[in-house]
Structure 1
Amino acid sequence: MSENISIIIWSKEGCSYCDDVKKYLVEKELAYKTVDVTNNDHLRDILDVKYGVRHVPVVEIGQGNVYRGVTEVGIEHLQEALDEVLVLD
């Protein structure tokens, strides 16, 4: 994966799905940053504006100002998005 690709996980404390995403990315040796929405409803407002959801995890994958948001729960959705980025990279 290109050095220019970044991954951002929007998550909250106690979210097992969020933990699964982080564990998966660590296993794949992919670096990521986290945006913690715990007790930060204004961050959920941002997710609502960007993607029409208020739940987590949301994983953003992209570079520069172009990101794809993975809003579906399940590692298979994240893998599909990563595969697309790898093909385009």
Structure 2
Amino acid sequence: MAEKLGIVVWAKQGCAYCAEIKDYLTKAGHEFQVVDVTDHDEQRDILQAKYGVRYVPVVEIGRGHTYRGVTELGLPALETALREAEKWDLDSVY
């Protein structure tokens, strides 16, 4: 049985794009965690190191220890990443 997708949303308070992403994931029935970067530049430093960006939202999608960061703004990029992630067969990778 495939392990459930893990989703992490890097966001900040007052961000309309962040709210849109979280609302979409909630309505689609996806569970997710939020990393709030509001007033936490060290969190933005992590985004910079991982993905070369300091802006939010960034959505990380994965299973186990394999995650992909979605840094493109807008729901179409997120929808594509979620569809692709659902097809991942990590059992064949290991």
Tell whether the structures are fold-level matches, with TM greater than 0.5. yes
Question: Tell me, which stretches of 5 or more residues in structure 1 are unaligned?
Answer: none
Q: Which runs of 4+ in 1 moved over 3 A?
A: none
Match of 1:51 in 2: 51
Shift of 1:65: 1.5
Cα deviation code 1:4-30 (max 9, x no counterpart):
310000000000000000000011000
* AA in 2 matched with 1:69: G
TM alignment of 1:41-80, pairs within 5 A: 41-80=41-80
Cα deviation code 1:40-64 (max 9, x no counterpart):
0000000000000000000000012
Question: Tell me, which stretches of 5 or more residues in structure 2 are unaligned?
Answer: 90-94
Would you say 1:31 and 2:12 are equivalent positions? no
Match of 1:84 in 2: 84
Q: Could you tell me how far apart the structure 2 residues matched to 1:39 and 1:88 are?
A: 35
Aligned residues: 88
Q: Larger C-alpha radius of gyration, 1 or 2? A: 2
TM-score (structure 1 length as normaliser): 0.94
CA RMSD of aligned residues (A): 1.1
Q: Could you tell me how far apart the structure 2 residues matched to 1:53 and 1:65 are?
A: 21
TM-score (structure 2 length as normaliser): 0.89
Shift of 1:78: 0.3
Q: Could you tell me how far apart the structure 2 residues matched to 1:88 and 1:63 are?
A: 9
For residue 73 of structure 1, give the secondary structure of its aligned residue in structure 2.
Answer: coil
